[in-house]
Chain A
Amino acid sequence: MSLTRSVQQKLSATLPYEELLPYEQPAYVHSYVYLFGIATLASFILLIVSGIVLAAFGPQWWHFSTVGHFLNSTHYWSVQAFFFFMVVHLWATFFQGAWRDGRGLTWVVGVMTFLASILTAFTGYISQQNFDAQWIAVQGKDALNAVGVGAFFNVLNFGQMYGYHIFILPLVVGALISAHLLLVRMRGVVRPYDDAMADEVRS
């Protein structure tokens, strides 16, 4: 028995090539409401690109370089854009009841992405090496210590937080976003609620 063939057959059955990038969608997807997911992905790409440049020059560079400070600003505003679009996307999918018809896992992975992103942003704030980093670290440590997490996740340890921020957590967020997108492609977008149509027809 060839494991490679089994995996290939499973993948072909679950997510055929043409479903990864379909060229047609239900007509109701042509709406601004459906743009916030892709805008979140676009913000994530900008976050990664600006983050790679910042990491390449080291954590202190942006404090002393005008170009570095501008790069930091693009990273900062990409974070703000990322969370803005993600939260609007979350609300939009909530109001659609987007977990219906077997899409529960897609919803769970989406919420996990949101949580991992919060942790990534938190470690980013702590890695800034400025007063905000100091204050957020000393303030945040009490909550983490109160539930026993601070012993292993020491927000006062810059090296540990920087490692989490530039490698471990972006990897987790990237993997979760990939899984979320694959699940959306496998299942497609959810159908509109039907009782509303009936109401509309009656009115």
Chain B
Amino acid sequence: MMARKKLYYRNVRMAPYDLVKEFLVATAVVLVLVLIFSLVLSSPDEPPVTIQGVAQASPQTFVQTTLDSLDGNSPVAGYGPPYNHGTGSVQTIGPVSLQKLIGVHIPVDTAQSFVLGPLTQAAAMNPALKAQLTQFNAASAPKQAAWEDAYGKALAKAKETPPTIAIPACVCGPVAPMMAALLQMGQSGAMDGLLLTSGHFYQTDYTRPLLFMQNNAVAAKAANFNLLGSTWGVMNETGNYPGQAWLWLYTMLYQIPPYTTAWAANTDALAILTVTILTLILMFLPWIPGLNRLPRYLKVYRLIWKDYYREQRDAPPTQPKSEQAKPPVEA
């Protein structure tokens, strides 16, 4: 043993200790536990939501989502950075918005990305749709808005019998056939592919399909599983599984004032800030006066080292106890 350690452990009884055996036994025990839990409890695997599934199960939800994307009423349309220059989801910490400071890095124009882009691709094989798109694009903004508004009112009175939907006639120009075409594309599964494409053969980025579905279909399913943020959803998962229990402190902030009241508009940013500060305190605990002596005051260590203290107490006095107790390195 190094001289420094010998000095540090003076008056401490040393005993044989087989670290390798301890590691092997620990690995074997944990392996057995993991195998038992895996066999008995398995693991959650709830199938993902697809655009096709939504369009077939609830055509009204699908059409409403596409209309919101077209007329700019969807939360994503006005979200803000990193997707666009909206302000709907911009948060600040005091006067500073890191979100705005960083800016738009993943541009998403909902009308173009979720509606007009996919329709343009479909129009290549559909002359009628191409004409409707041309008519829509050529119209003035107020005219487009009037058609969208009229269609929205008609959609509110629609009768849904999945997978079909009957929408009352309206003076909506080309918007009605455009939405009908999109519904067909959604129900066929074409939309899942069209939103995923990014100009490359291989695809791994699901930003656009997830943004398209998040506020209606995905959130509705999450609510069924009791996974919303207001019900500790950040750390939970589907089924009766423990989820990310280690996020309890962060998740708790979303349940309590002022995060749910006065700070509600900036909950995410302030929750992250709070957790960052608490993490820094935890990390630099050894050097924070007062806090670094907390374990000494809590005295849980008496339980942890009770055998050591008993041994020290029962040991024959070879030198004054005060000297035995004196550590070679100061705390």
| A-to-B contact residues, CB < 8 Å | 16, 18-19, 21-31, 33, 35, 38-39, 41-43, 45-46, 62-63, 69-70, 72-78, 80-81, 83, 85, 87, 92, 94-97, 99-104, 107-108, 111-112, 115, 118, 121-122, 125, 128-140, 142-143, 145-148, 150-152, 154, 156-160, 162, 188, 191-198, 200-201
Contacts and interface: CB of A to CB of B under 8 A. Distances in A.
Given A101-B330, A156-B210, A191-B9, A143 B17 contact: no
Given A16-B2, A156-B205, A27 B295 contact: no
A92 B205 CA distance: 42
Given A72-B43, A112-B283, A194-B325, A28 B305 contact: yes
B244 interface: yes
Chain B binding surface SS class: helix
B326 A194 contact: yes
15 contacts: A21-B20, A26-B13, A27-B14, A28-B305, A100-B331, A111-B279, A143-B269, A146-B89, A147-B98, A147-B99, A191-B8, A191-B327, A192-B304, A193-B301, A196-B305
A113 B282 CA distance: 13
B108 to A, nearest CB: 10
Interface in B206-220: 206-207, 210-211, 213-214, 218-219
A35 B269 CA distance: 38
Contacts of A162: 204
B244 A69 contact: no
B229 interface: yes
Contacts of B37: 73, 77, 80
Contacts of A25: 14-15, 17
Q: Which 4 A-B pairs have the closest CB atoms?
A: A159-B204, A99-B286, A73-B38, A148-B102
Interface in B260-282: 266, 268-269, 271-273, 279, 282
Chain A binding surface SS class: helix
Nearest to A163: B204
A77 B27 CA distance: 14
A129 to B, nearest CB: 7
A46 B27 contact: yes
A74 B34 contact: yes
Nearest to A16: B2
A137 B286 contact: no
Given A157-B204, A196-B299, 12 more contacts: A28-B305, A72-B45, A73-B41, A96-B305, A97-B292, A101-B331, A107-B286, A118-B247, A139-B227, A143-B269, A151-B81, A194-B326
B313 to A, nearest CB: 5
Interface in B12-43: 12-20, 22-23, 26-27, 29-31, 33-35, 37-39, 41-43
Contact of B35 (A22, A42, A74, A139): A74
B301 A192 contact: yes
Contact of B106 (A130, A154, A195): A154
Interface stretch (B127-135, B136-144, B165-173, B230-238): B230-238
A160 B198 CA distance: 15
Interface stretch (B46-54, B57-65, B146-154, B177-185): B46-54
A97 B205 contact: no
Interface in B92-116: 93, 98-99, 101-103, 105-106
B207 A77 contact: no
Contact of A131 (B20, B46, B98): B46
Nearest to B310: A200
Contact of B99 (A111, A115, A140, A146): A146
A104 B229 CA distance: 36
Given A42-B26, A157-B204, A130 B45 contact: yes
Contacts of A143: 268-269, 271-272
Nearest to B309: A200
A104 B221 CA distance: 46
Given A26-B9, A26-B14, A95 B300 contact: yes
